[in-house]
Amino acid sequence: MAGKNMMKLAILSLSFVVLVAMVIGLIVTVNKYSEEKPESTKLDEDVKASIKAVCENTDYKRTCVESLSGASTKSTNPYDHIKTMFEITIKQLDAAVKNSSFMNEIHRDPRTNDALKGCKELAGLAVMDLRRAFDKMSGFSLNEFGQALVELKIWMSGAITYEQTCLDGFEKTQGNAGEKMKKALKKSMELTSNCLAMTTDISQALQEVAVPQTTNRRLLTLFSTDYNIPEWVDATDENVLEKTSMKIDRDLTVAQDGSGDFESINEALKFIPVRGKERYVMYIKEGIYKEIVQFPKNLTHIMIIGDGPSKTRITGNLNFIDGVTTYHTATVAGPEKHQAVALRVSADRAIFYNCHMDGYQDTLYVHTYRQFYRDCTISGTIDFLFGDSAVVFQNCIMVVRKPMDNQNCIVTAQGRKENRQPTGIVLQNCSIVADPVYFPVRKEIKSYLGRPWKQYSRTIIMESFIDDLIQPQGWLQWNQTFAFDTLFYTEFNNHGPGSSKLERVQWPGVKELPASRIKRFTPGKFITGDSWIPPTGVPYTSDFIYEPPKDDPKNDYSKKSNEEDRDYTPTPEKEKKQKKPKKKKKPKKEKDESSDKQKAPAEGPSSMAESEISAPYASPAQPPSQGASPTPKNGSFLRKVFGLFTKSNH
């Protein structure tokens, strides 16, 4: 028994080594410089080692080391450097845009002007995302680790997307403004990428700790991604959407026939209180509203109800955007190619239920953050679902329409730029079918499931019906062999005549995966939907919809790469029946809120887990010792690291 415990202890200690890989790395390095050197040199070396440690796993190491060395942070604590990195990035991005002389040049090409204007606003959004990530990093409590990490990554990913969207705006513009912008943003983009890399490092290190102790309730709490139910959702409201819409209290009614408070949506928008903390319900009565609508970021917690997808209709360009007021996506607004985004969604935790989005090319721009679509119908021709959010379409119908001659149809064009971004398009229990006009010519005018808009394009089609309009090869190249190795496309448990994988393209990025590796793309995990979708009353399935096929050891599944789950923050399984732990009295260092759920741990592994886990933040492993050297020591060091991540009262 003792031997076994020792072994487990060893494993746990190892986990800790991994947990603070960079920290330990630092300590080891630091020790190398011990004693002989004069104190000041030694401190310098320690600072250098600390910087090197935080930059270790970034993609742009040189940029990382140079910027941090140039900063005045003379700390040996890696977390000080991580925070400094965020500050530098924000400054850099701010300066790059505000300060670039060419930003305010007037160009003859209206698209260039539009793109420049867009960049200013997008950079502002990126800065905002960096800032809130920075703020979050400086103070979250231990029991919201999971949630905090998920949000950090979503926001960092948002910043990356906004920067990229700025550059995308210059596509097909005249002159060299696009090139200039690319240069101006280069460093900011590298720094932003580094910030996400550091966040990912922390997240992965923490997961290493979580894995061996999945039976430990304390950690489950630690990694819970549950949010508190938003205050604006009244618990008694729960199934509000399943009742007829007539029963929901409306704060405001828009009706074309003059029977409401306003006759146009835009008129009504001006009257909605900004930054509302409670749900604000806008009811739009039956009618065709020819308006371009933008919901600005300062309108929060808005719910919009119509009389049904075929009755209340908004035509023209609708821009649903939780971000900016006027921001034109120049690339997608050009008339000559019939490109027109019907709907752009740049809001976090956006939900669409029982809606139709109709368009041709680029119908639905799922731009950033987390989004959920349920029972919706989306129609279009080329790349008609595109963008870089983490999005799940559940029980939706994708209707492919007839394009112009010489065009192909492509259902998705996912635009993930970096493999640390937690983004991707997931279709679950959807149907991919042809519009009646397109149906007769579906064999001549070809259709595909998707193509890689950006390097790490990721699309998962599961449990869906794929009709015979989809070509046997399934996926289409963007240009030549672009992203063949880095994209991530997989089809899982689909059916229908177009679902056969026998003749699919053989790119390295097209994967064959077992259920165990697909599960992380179900909405409960991929967009942490359990915490924010059910409270709205929108019907929702968290997990697989159908019983998935068992993993088959004989199947030749794609080899798992290091990158596959790099972006993922695992969440604990729903509490399974656990063996009643034997009670064992033990002084609690931290107050547990639900004492019933958090009995003292059992003997054996979980008990050890508990004591090991509590070490860094709760146990007095190493009192600040006498004659403390500037070199941080193991116990206090770990505590310090965690301390920075926790609210001061912990």
Ligand X SMILES: *[C@@H]1O[C@H](CO)[C@@H](O)[C@H](O)[C@H]1NC(C)=O
Task: Say whether residue 72 binds ligand X (CB under 6 A).
Answer: no
Task: Say whether residue 514 binds ligand X (CB under 6 A).
Answer: no
Q: Quick one: which of 24, 229, 600, 621 contacts ligand X (CB under 6 A)?
A: 621
Task: Say whether residue 274 binds ligand X (CB under 6 A).
Answer: yes
Q: Quick one: which of 633, 643, 644, 650 contacts ligand X (CB under 6 A)?
A: 633
Quickly list DSSP for 100-135: -GGGG---SSHHHHHHHHHHHHHHHHHHHHHHHHHH
CB of 544 or CB of 568, closer to ligand X:
544
Structure tokens given for 317: 């360009």
Which run of H or E residues covers position 488? strand 488-492
Stretch that binds ligand X, among 15-23, 146-154, 336-344, 633-641 (CB under 6 A): 633-641
Quickly list DSSP for 572-583: PPS----PPPPP
Q: Quick one: which of 138, 266, 325, 561 contacts ligand X (CB under 6 A)?
A: 325
Task: Say whether residue 625 binds ligand X (CB under 6 A).
Answer: no
Question: What are the angstrom distances between the C-alpha of 416 and each of 191, 411, 457, 460, 622?
Answer: 17, 16, 5, 13, 44
Instruction: Taking each helix axis as running N to C, give the angle between helix 110-138 and helix 177-210, from 0 to 180 degrees, rounded to the nearest 10.
Output: 20
Is 59 designated active site? no
Structure tokens given for 601: 């741990």
Beta bridge mates, 266: none
Structure tokens given for 512: 């064959």
Task: Say whether residue 296 binds ligand X (CB under 6 A).
Answer: yes
320 close to 344: Cβ distance less than 8 angstroms: yes
Task: Say whether residue 17 binds ligand X (CB under 6 A).
Answer: no
Active-site residue among 383, 388, 467, 530? 383
Q: Where are the beta strands (DSSP E) in 232-389?
A: 252-254, 280-284, 287-290, 302-305, 312-315, 318-320, 343-345, 350-353, 356-358, 364-366, 370-374, 377-380, 385-387
Contacts (Cβ under 8 Å, ≥6 apart) of 67:
85, 88, 92, 191
Nearest distance from residue 148's CB to ligand X, in Å? Answer: 26
CB of 480 or CB of 594, closer to ligand X:
480
CB of 128 or CB of 397, closer to ligand X:
397
Active-site residue among 201, 362, 388, 530? 362
Q: Quick one: which of 40, 72, 236, 480 contacts ligand X (CB under 6 A)?
A: 480
Site string for ligand X, 83-112 (x = CB under 6 A): ------------x---x-x-----------
Task: Say whether residue 221 binds ligand X (CB under 6 A).
Answer: no
Nearest distance from residue 227's CB to ligand X, in Å? Answer: 25
CA nearest 201: which of 65, 51, 54, 369? Answer: 54
CB of 151 or CB of 251, closer to ligand X:
251
Site string for ligand X, 376-405 (x = CB under 6 A): -------------------x-x--------
CB of 385 or CB of 602, closer to ligand X:
385
Collapsed DSSP state (helix, strand, coil) of residue 35: coil
Q: Which residue is listed with tokens 């999971």? A: 146
Nearest distance from residue 583's CB to ligand X, in Å? Answer: 27
In whole angstroms, give the CA distance from residue 145 to residue 622. 24
Collapsed DSSP state (helix, strand, coil) of residue 333: helix
Is 388 designated active site? no
Task: Say whether residue 614 binds ligand X (CB under 6 A).
Answer: no
Task: Say whether residue 545 binds ligand X (CB under 6 A).
Answer: yes
Residues that bind ligand X (CB under 6 A): 95, 99, 101, 274, 296, 298, 325, 395, 397, 429, 431, 478-480, 482, 545, 621, 633-635
Which residues are known to be catalytic?
362, 383
